[in-house]
Structure 1
């Protein structure tokens, strides 16, 4: 027969108050199925404790809302049944995907910064080209003035 634990024992294992365990048991009833015989205290199985541990981690460590934790557990159960994957492999895949998503976010941010820098460089290039054209126009005007002045001097000499 499977060893079962009392509410107080489960609360001690999870490091929470018994009232918290009762709340989670009610909120997550479709995931935590605690059996109790009429007139007896509820007894928690190792599977119940494992599920309550997942719930605690989702709520307290990963900071999920109740609704978000339920969705996550539903998704996990769907994945488990659809793929027949054991929990450790699934967790590994989940963390790998999380790491990939973080890396993609970092690349996206870097890409945005590079794009902004490129825009600034293009603006700076345009400003420099305008100044260069202005200098070239000034150079042409000075060249024409010099030619006109030389022509006037030649006419005066002639």
Structure 2
């Protein structure tokens, strides 16, 4: 697994590696980034390439579970993430 140093936070992987790790297609990762802005925000290189940190991978895996396994709608998954992130901030 090739890791590159993320500017803001530890190690990060390319979108293609994130796709391999999570089993989610690259085009779906890009779509989810738009749909779940604020929850899924991979860092960008100076050249504009996405780099997924460990926390981004965890969000992708949670989205995969919600949308594909539990059959949540996009709106339902967004609401679930909002509750989860709000609970984290309150803790």
- TM-score between both structures, scaled by the size of structure 2: 0.82
Bigger Cα Rg = 1
Distance, in Å, in 1 between the alignment partners of 2:24 and 2:43 is 21
Corresponding residue for residue 27 of structure 1: 35
Contact 2:19 2:29 in 1 (8 A): yes
Q: Could you give the per-residue CA deviations for residues 59-105 of structure 1, whole angstroms, max 9, x where no partner exists?
A: 011110000000011011122222x2xxxxxxxxxxxxxxxxxxxxx
Structure 1 residue 18 corresponds to structure 2 residue 18 = no
- List runs of 5+ in structure 1 lacking aligned partners: 85-158
Structure holding more helix per residue: 1
For residue 46 of structure 1, the aligned residue among 46, 54, 58 is 54
How far apart in 2 are the matches of 1:40 and 1:79? 32
From the two aligned structures, give the one with the greater strand fraction: 2
More RCO (CA 8 Å, sep 6+)? 2
**1:69 paired residue number:** 77
TM-score (norm 1): 0.49
Give every structure 1 segment of 4 or more consecutive aligned residues whose post-TM-superposition deviation is greater than 6 Å. Answer: none
Take 1:47 and 1:62, find their aligned partners in 2: how far apart are those partners? Answer: 21
